C-alpha cells in the first residue's frame, strides 16, 4: 500500500503542522489547512497525488519510525539531559538596546543573530514567524519571510501556535538562496533534512536557529485566553510575552492589541495562561512524544534564561552554538552583550522539562497512556487535559473550558484534602 502523511502521521494525531510534506510534494497535491480544533494539518488531493511517491512521508518529522529513532538516540546517553548540550559552546546573551530587549521574548539573541547575518550578507532571507491581526477562531500567527533588518525587527517575541513553513520553503525550490530558518526544534530538524536531501533544494545554503521548546499549543490556546478576558470580539493581535512593568523576566504579560490601541495587558499569572500552559491544555498531541528540547540539529539553540538570571525583567537568552560560523556572528554582534556559561549551568537550567522530554518520553512512546508508569509520571492526566480541552472548547466555548478547569482543580483539592486527613491521622 502506498503511504502518505495522512496515513502515517495525521491519522495518529502526530502531525505538528510544519508543512514539510507540502513543501516537498512534486505534484503540489498537498494543502495545509486550519482544522476545526485550530491545528494546521495537510489535506491531500488524491487526484493530483499521481504516482503515490511517498515523498511527503520521507520528510515528515513525526512518522512512527522517526519518533522511535529520535527517542532511541537518548537511550545511548548516560545522562539524557546531555541531549543537545554535549558538544556545544554555551553563552548568556542579551541586547544592549533596552527597547529591542523589551520587544524580544528573552534577551533578543535570536533577532540579533538574524539581523547580523543579513547585515553581513551571510544570508539573503530569514524565515521565522509573525503575529496576524485576526478574529477569534482564525490563525493569529503565520510564517514570515524577511529580507531586511527592519522586517526582522518587527517580528520579535515567541509565538505559541502551530505554524506551517511550507509556503516559505517552496520559494527555495531550484534556487541558490542562503536562508536562516528560525523555528521550534521539530521544524528545524525537518527543514534541515529536507533542504539537505531533496534535489529540488540542492543549491540552497541553510543556517538554523532552534527555539528550545517544551511544547506547542494549538490555535485555541490564544483564542481561549482572549475569550476568557473578553477581548476576542473583534480582530486582535496577541503578544503573550509582553514585558510592560514586569517585575522579573518570569512574570511577563499577555497583551492583546490592535494597531490603534491596547485591548488588554495583564500578568500571565492573572490570566489563564499559566494554568493552561503548565497543564498542557490545548497542547499538540505529538509534543508528548517529542524527545528534542533544545533542537540538537540546529546551528544554534536559544532559550529563556530563567532561575537566577530572571531577576532582570528585560530577560536574557541562554545560547548553545554548534557551528563556528554562526558562533562568530553571535560573539561579534555589535548590539549583543555576551558572556560564556559553564556546562553545569546549562545542562540543568530547565530540569523538569528536560526530564519530561528526554527521560520520561520513553514511557510515553513505548507504553500505553494508561500504563502505570504513565499514570505515575502524570502523562495520563496531561493527555486527558490536552484531549478534552480541545473538544470542550470547540463544542461549548468558555463554559465548557471553565467546567473542565473546575473539575481539574477539584481533583487537586480532593488530593490536598486526602493528604491533610491522612497526614493528621
Ligand X SMILES: Cc1cc2nc3c(=O)[nH]c(=O)nc-3n(C[C@H](O)[C@H](O)[C@H](O)COP(=O)(O)OP(=O)(O)OC[C@H]3O[C@@H](n4cnc5c(N)ncnc54)[C@H](O)[C@@H]3O)c2cc1C
Binding stretches for ligand X (CB under 6 A): 104-111, 114, 128-130, 155-160, 163, 182-184, 211-214, 216, 302-304, 317, 350, 353
Report whether 268 contacts 231 (CB < 8 A).
Answer: no
CB of 108 to ligand X, least distance (A): 4
User: Considering beta carbons, is residue 160 or 273 the nearer one to ligand X?
Assistant: 160
CB of 93 to ligand X, least distance (A): 8
Q: Round to whole Å and give the CA distance between 235 and 141.
A: 13
User: Considering beta carbons, is residue 4 or 296 the nearer one to ligand X?
Assistant: 296
* Residue 42 grid cell: 495537510
User: Considering beta carbons, is residue 128 or 289 the nearer one to ligand X?
Assistant: 128
User: Considering beta carbons, is residue 200 or 239 the nearer one to ligand X?
Assistant: 239
Give Cβ neighbours of residue 128 (< 8 Å, ≥ 6 apart): 114, 143, 144, 146, 152, 155, 181, 182, 183
User: Considering beta carbons, is residue 156 or 364 the nearer one to ligand X?
Assistant: 156
User: Considering beta carbons, is residue 29 or 182 the nearer one to ligand X?
Assistant: 182
User: Considering beta carbons, is residue 211 or 226 the nearer one to ligand X?
Assistant: 211
CB of 114 to ligand X, least distance (A): 6
CB of 29 to ligand X, least distance (A): 25
Sign of the CA dihedral running 246, 110, 85, 59:
positive
Report whether 235 contacts 226 (CB < 8 A).
Answer: no
User: Considering beta carbons, is residue 81 or 157 the nearer one to ligand X?
Assistant: 157
CA distances from 286 to 71, 79, 84, 188, 252 (A): 13, 23, 20, 16, 27
* Residue 387 grid cell: 484531549
Report whether 201 contacts 195 (CB < 8 A).
Answer: yes
Give the count of beta carbons closer than 10 Å to the beta carbon of residue 330: 23
CB of 37 to ligand X, least distance (A): 17
CB of 84 to ligand X, least distance (A): 12
Q: In what order do the strands lie in the sheet with 141-146?
A: 141-146, 125-131, 178-183, 205-211, 300-304, 317-321, 89-95, 336-340
Residue whose C-alpha is closest to residue 93's, from 105, 82, 81, 85: 105
118 phi-psi bin (left φ>0, alpha ψ -120 to 50, beta other): alpha
User: Considering beta carbons, is residue 160 or 383 the nearer one to ligand X?
Assistant: 160
Q: Round to whole Å and give the CA distance between 304 and 293.
A: 13
Q: Round to whole Å and give the CA distance between 211 and 140.
A: 19
CB of 362 to ligand X, least distance (A): 20
Query: Can you give the length of the chain in residues?
Result: 425
User: Considering beta carbons, is residue 177 or 353 the nearer one to ligand X?
Assistant: 353
CB of 177 to ligand X, least distance (A): 18
Pairing of strands 30-34, 253-257: unpaired
Query: 26 phi and psi, to 5 degrees?
Result: -70, -15
Query: 3-state DSSP call for residue 83?
Result: coil
CB of 164 to ligand X, least distance (A): 10
CB of 126 to ligand X, least distance (A): 7
Amino acid at each position: 500500500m502506498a503511504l502518505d502523511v495522512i496515513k502515517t502521521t495525521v491519522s495518529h494525531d502526530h502531525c505538528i503542522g510544519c508543512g514539510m510534506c507540502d513543501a516537498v510534494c512534486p505534484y503540489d497535491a498537498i494543502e495545509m489547512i486550519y482544522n476545526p480544533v485550530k491545528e494546521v494539518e495537510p489535506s491531500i488531493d488524491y487526484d493530483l497525488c499521481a504516482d503515490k511517491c511517498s515523498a511527503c512521508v520521507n520528510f515528515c518529522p513525526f512518522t512512527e519510525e522517526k519518533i522511535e529513532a529520535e527517542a532511541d538516540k537518548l537511550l545511548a546517553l548516560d545522562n539524557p539531559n546531555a541531549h543537545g548540550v554535549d558538544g556545544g559552546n554555551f553563552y548568556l546573551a542579551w541586547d544592549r538596546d533596552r527597547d529591542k530587549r523589551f520587544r524580544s521574548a528573552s534577551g533578543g539573541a535570536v533577532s540579533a543573530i538574524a539581523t547580523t547575518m543579513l547585515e553581513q550578507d551571510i544570508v539573503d532571507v530569514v524565515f521565522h514567524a509573525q503575529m496576524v491581526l485576526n478574529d477569534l477562531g482564525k490563525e493569529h500567527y503565520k510564517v514570515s519571510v524577511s529580507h531586511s533588518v527592519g522586517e526582522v525587527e518587527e517580528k520579535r517575541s515567541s509565538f505559541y501556535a502551530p505554524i506551517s513553513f511550507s509556503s516559505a520553503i517552496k520559494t527555495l525550490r531550484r534556487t541558490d538562496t542562503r536562508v536562516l530558518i528560525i523555528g521550534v526544534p521539530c521544524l528545524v530538524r525537518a527543514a534541515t533534512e529536507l533542504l539537505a536531501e531533496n534535489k529540488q533544494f540542492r543549491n540552497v545554503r541553510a543556517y538554523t536557529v532552534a527555539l528550545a521548546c517544551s511544547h506547542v499549543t494549538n490555535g485555541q490556546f490564544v483564542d481561549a485566553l482572549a475569550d476568557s478576558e473578553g477581548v476576542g470580539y473583534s480582530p486582535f493581535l496577541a503578544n503573550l510575552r509582553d514585558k510592560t512593568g514586569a517585575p522579573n523576566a518570569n512574570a511577563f504579560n499577555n497583551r492583546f492589541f490592535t494597531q490603534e490601541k491596547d485591548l488588554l495587558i495583564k500578568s500571565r499569572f492573572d490570566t489563564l495562561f499559566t494554568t493552561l500552559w503548565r497543564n498542557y491544555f490545548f497542547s499538540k498531541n505529538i509534543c508528548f512524544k517529542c524527545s528534542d528540547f533544545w533542537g540538537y540539529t540546529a546551528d544554534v539553540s536559544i532559550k529563556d534564561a530563567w532561575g537566577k538570571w530572571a531577576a532582570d525583567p528585560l530577560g536574557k537568552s541562554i545560547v548553545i552554538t554548534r557551528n563556528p560560523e554562526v558562533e562568530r556572528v553571535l560573539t561579534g554582534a555589535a548590539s549583543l552583550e555576551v558572556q560564556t556559561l559553564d556546562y553545569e549551568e546549562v545542562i540543568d537550567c530547565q530540569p523538569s522539562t528536560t526530564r519530561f522530554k528526554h527521560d520520561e518520553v520513553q514511557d510515553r512512546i513505548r507504553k500505553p497512556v494508561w500504563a502505570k508508569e504513565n499514570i505515575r509520571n502524570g502523562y495520563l492526566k496531561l493527555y486527558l487535559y490536552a484531549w478534552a480541552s480541545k473538544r470542550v472548547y470547540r463544542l461549548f466555548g468558555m463554559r465548557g473550558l471553565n467546567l473542565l478547569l473546575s473539575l481539574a482543580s477539584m481533583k487537586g483539592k480532593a488530593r490536598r484534602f486526602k493528604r491533610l486527613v491522612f497526614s493528621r491521622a
